[in-house]
Structure formats: structure tokens, C-alpha cells
Chains A and B, each alone.
Chain A
Amino acid sequence: MHSMRRLRSRTGKIQVSRREFFDLLAVASAAFAAARCDPSMGVAVTLPESEGGDELPVGLESLGGAPNTHQGRTIAAFCDVVVPGKKRDPSGAPGAVDVGAPAIFFDHALPAAEYVGLVAFLLDAAAKDHFDGQRFADIKPEEREEALNLALKDDSPLEFAVQLAKVAFFSGEKVFAYLGYPGPNDGYIAHPDFTFGVAMAREITKDGNYP
């Protein structure tokens, strides 16, 4: 991962070894995948926020709650690649930006906020490597897809960011409505489609305990 080497030499601010750092990101990914929970990582990574213009990234209608900074635009462009939104999805179904997933990356109640700089950096590095030195937010959506695909080829910490974007998407209330998940409820025991009510397989124990 040459991007990581570059990152270290440029900022010198990462406090943990590279190996450990990859482990941590793998953990974060595992944690989100497994438990839809907040991995309390306890390691902060601070990267300097770089300057940038204030136009929306190509293909986006909003930043989904992310700040209008270079990092905010990069994360919004990234979320739109992970779950494309209305503008790029012919079906018009909401995407990660439409439901506010980018905001989750910047929510300080979750440790993800500590990784935003790194995620943006890695995305920019991937875009620069493959698209003539351009930044992730400045390339076209199809190019972003390709850049992300290439960046994910080897066990990249960006896997964690993909998981997070998906967790944020799937926990959005607009997504519940779109996928037909009602969320809180009074119980389905009396619903006509709750049970088959008849034996569906052969049983081999007397009472549910195997001897």
C-alpha cells in the first residue's frame, strides 16, 4: 500500500504502527458488520483538512449532511458510489447520500469521525493513481467506481468505510420505508402472515432438548 507510506511521510501524525493500524481498521469493519455497533477504538488519527472549492462533486445533488469541505465532498462522493442515489439510479430509489449517510461519518458520537481524514486521503490517492492526478470528488461517478474497485483489491482499510456507508444507509428511516421494514411495532403474533402454524420438518427430539 504505497498510499499509506505516502500518508505517513506527508503528515507524520499517525500514532500507531502501520500493521497495527490496518488491524484496527479490519476490526472496525468486522465490528460494524457483525453487530451494527459502535466500535470504540480508542485510537485517534488526525489528518490535516486540505482546502478545496465549494462546488458539489459531479453527479451529486447534496452532501447528505457532510460539511462542505474537501473531506465532506469526498465522503459524500464515496457514499454515492457505495449506494447510488436518485440522480444515478434510474429507479429513483434513495441512495446513501439521500438518506444522510455521509453525516454519520462526521458524527462525533461514533469513532468513525476519527477516520474521515484517512478515508478521504485513500480515496484521493486511488483517484490520483488511476485518473491523472485528479481528486476523488472531482472525477466522474463511473471513474469513482473504478477507483474504489481498484483500491479495494488488496485488503484495503477502505473496506471499513464501505461497511460504514452501508450501515448508515440501512439504518436510515427513509430506507426502512423504501425496503418495506416497519421498525418499531406491537408484535406480529396476531398477524395473518406470522406463522405457518403447522409442522414444517421432521423433529427428532422429544421436547427440543437433544439427549
Chain B
Amino acid sequence: MEQFDAVIIGSGYGGAIPAARLAEAGMRVLLLERGQRWTTSDLMQSDDPRYIAKVIDLVVTRAGVAFRTGSMVGGASVPMDGAHFRAPQKSFDVRAGDGRPYWPEGLSRNALDPYYERVERMLRVRQFAWSEIPKAGGLFAKMLDAAGASCDRARLNYTDCKHCGFCAQGCVFDKKMSMLHTYLPLAELHGAEIRPGCLVDHVEPERTGYVVRYTRAGSPVEVWGQRVFIAGGGVHTPALLLRSKRYLPHLSSRVGEEFNNNGEHGFIGILPPEFDDLSRYSCFMGSENSAMMSFHFFESNGFTLHPGGGLEPSILAASLAATDDPLVPKRAWGLEYKRFVEAVYPHRLIAFSTLGLADGHRAITIDSAGAPNVTERDRTSYDAYLDRVDALLADVSTKSGVKLLPVVPRKLSGTTSAHLLSACRMADAPERGVVDANGHVFGHENLYVCDASAVPYALGVNPALTISAVAERTAERVVERG
């Protein structure tokens, strides 16, 4: 059996970062990724659902929800929308029902700042100038301004972005500093091996390390790692641990339990005709992330507003909540609906989502075949969060004249989610979480989780930078331990 100092599963932010840092420190690193290695020329500016399904893994569960996660070498860093924010201190201060903070002791904004900075340098994250903000972002800001609210320019890892609007398809112009451009080449430079097409089933302890069992081209393979890092993303990491459970007797019973969609809930805004010179606004112009962010409600109500851009017509395929407004047809189909679409596309449409410090309301479980599933949990607290959001946005709508419609009905809130956090969360003790403050799985030496699922709770801002900072810190601790 091949042997490595470290075997890393998954090559998104959570996998690529430790791969680079451990290889840099001289360790023999193997990175296993189920997806393929794409080059820029494989990417397409395509709205075809069949193409998008290859770039993003849409995890459709039996419980009525679907999540978007990474599916190739580089994980979701390839199709993501570029927003990279540090989490505010308030996010680290949130307390659970038992009165104790979700984040383990020693982790705070201050403590993570050096790691944030390291990642920002690697990914060339910077705040956009007003001259780089597409009109979709400008009109979103204008809506908030009309409602007396603030709106800031966002921070992105795009260099010389051409604003074509196809970020979620992967950037054909090579303007996005994904893992493929940053940490993965660094890992390879230092001798790490990236092995695509390897689907890991489970891990089993052997001697002081672990056997990792995977299939490649349909054949079973096993390798041994002195240390193993699980970074399959927010849904697949808990599933992998649950499949490994019978070999990991001390695994916390919290695996999958605190799954959290970061309070993500989408809205479409229909601009009133008199809002601006709308004939000169086209919602498809500009990057998929229209490069703004509103922190206005964050201090008081724990949520931010994150606008989209580059809007293609299928944004309208989602259901419309029937309202009493004459602008919105009663049915989301038929002739009246067709007239509605013509009236709003492309000059009167904006879209955004809330991100917030909301409790989870679903757990990741596995079915009898070991595939990830979602089980509904108590959603009282999540619904209360949506009530707060709805009330405040109703006020924004009244003051600005922008009609706001949820993208999906409330029962499916989170369905659009790509922010899949906390299902193997960090905590101070195994009764409360799955890994400790250093990403180390409670009860199992040399086994680590360092991706989105380790982030202990919703952040209220886009999570990639925090996932990365935590992964940098975890890697640093492992290198220090030797």
C-alpha cells in the first residue's frame, strides 16, 4: 500500500490550503479529488443546465432540498462568485442555546486576522472601486440608499475582471484567483501529488494513521496516510465521516447535526420604472457578483445583503410568490406571466440574498447506500429569522419602491444554498461538536476536518475567506506539531 505523510480528501479551499502548507513544510502529500482537472479551455460561457451540472455538484436530497458544492479539482473555488470577506467579530460571539459561544476559545476575528491576511495575499483579494461596480450593484445600493440604509463595495479575488457575467460557470478569461491558480500549483511545486477521479468512500484507522479507501475508474484503491484531512465540502465531509463511523468508535454523535445554510435566502427585486434611466440598465451586464454588500442590518439584526449580477433569463424560472401587487401575476405561468417577464427583463430586475447569523434547521444524514441526505430539524428559530428579514425588507421595499419577491417559497428556503457550514463543527468538547479548535477530530489522533463543515456556525457573510483562514491555521498547527 502506498504511504504518505498526509492524505487530503477534496481539493476546494479546505483541501488545497493544507496540501500547499504541508508540502511546503516538506511532507509527502497526496490529494484525492473525485472530480476531474479542468483547464481554462474546458470552461464555457453556457447557460445549458447540462453544462452547469458538470461544473457544480448539485446534491439533491430526498428531503426536498438541493445544495451546490464543488465537483472538480479546485472544488467550488472554480465556479464561486468571488466575494471574500473577513467574518465580523459579532459572528464569533454568537452563543448557542446553552449560553456558550459556538466558536471554541481562542478563535476570534483578531486571532484569525493574520490568517485572513495570508489568504487575501494569495488570492489577491481587494475591494472594488466604484468604477468597477456594475449597474446591478449600483441599483442595489441605490435601493438601500433610498431606504436610508448603507451599502459597501465588496472584496473579490478577481483581477482585471471583464464583467462577462459567467462566473458560476468558471471564468473563461482566467480572471478568478481560484485554487487552480494559487494553492494547488504551490502544493505541486513542493511535490504534492493531486490525483483526480478518486472518490473516497471511507477512512479506517491503521497503526498511527488511516487507510483511505477510494475508487478510481471503478476499481477500489487504498492508500495509507500518517495524517488524514477530510475536506469534501459541507455536505460530503459529514457523509464521509458517517460512512466511516463504524471504524471510528469515538466519533462525536454531533456529526451532521449543526448543518447551517448561513441564513441564505434569495430575493428578486423588480425596480419601479421611474427608478433611474432604466432603458440604459441591463441586468446581464457585469460579474455574477455585482460587487456590493450591505452590512446595514448586521449589527442590529445579524444579517447582510449580498447582491447578484450577470442575470440570465432563467433567474425568472423560479416560482414567484403570489402577492396582491398588480405587477405580479397570480400564477407563475401563462400569458399574464409571459407579459410580466417581458416587462421586467432585462431592465428592471435585480437579485440578492440575505446571509445571516441564523440557526441551522436541517441535519446531514446518509441513506442506506451511504449517499448524503438531509433530515429536517426544528425550524422555529430559522422561521423567526426569516420573519425578521421579511419585516425589514418590507420596509426597504416600501421606502425604495422596489418590489421584493422571494426566489423560492419559504419551505424551500436555503435550497439555493451554496454556503454549507457547520455539519462537523469545531467546539470545545465532543458533546458539542466534531473537531477541536485545531480542526482535529475528537477521539481520533491525526484525523482532521478543515473545510466548510468545520466552521462552527453561520457567519452572516460569504464564508470562503473564513474557511480558508481556518484551514491555514489548522495546517500551521499540524506543521508545528510535526
Contacts and interface: CB of A to CB of B under 8 A. Distances in A.
Contacts of B286: 188, 194-195
A183 B153 CA distance: 26
Interface stretch (A7-15, A87-95, A117-125): A87-95
Contacts of B334: 81-84, 145
Contact of B416 (A34, A162, A166, A198): A34
B153 A110 contact: no
Interface residues of A, number: 72
A170 B317 contact: yes
Contacts of A23: 62-64
A202 to B, nearest CB: 5
A50 interface: no
B296 to A, nearest CB: 7
Contacts of A110: 49-50
A47 B286 CA distance: 45
B295 interface: yes
B333 A201 contact: no
Interface stretch (B97-105, B130-138, B223-231): B130-138
> For the side of the interface on B, what is the size category?
35 or more
Contacts of B296: 204
A144 to B, nearest CB: 10
Nearest to B139: A200
Contacts of B280: 193
Contacts of A103: none
Interface string A95-113: 1000000000000011000
Nearest to A209: B86
Nearest to B314: A170
Nearest to B68: A35
A204 B304 CA distance: 13
B65 A27 contact: yes
Contacts of B166: 184
B182 interface: no
A184 to B, nearest CB: 4
Interface string A171-207: 1000110011111111111010111111111111101
B109 interface: yes
Given A198-B130, A205-B295, A34 B333 contact: no
A123 to B, nearest CB: 13
B161 interface: yes
15 contacts: A23-B63, A27-B62, A34-B412, A35-B58, A38-B58, A84-B335, A110-B49, A110-B50, A166-B317, A183-B45, A184-B166, A185-B45, A195-B134, A209-B155, A210-B295
**Leading 4 A-B pairs by shortest Cβ distance:** A187-B162, A200-B141, A201-B141, A201-B151
Interface of A: 20, 23-24, 26-28, 30-41, 81-84, 88-89, 93, 95, 109-110, 145, 148-149, 159, 162-163, 165-167, 169-171, 175-176, 179-189, 191, 193-205, 207-211
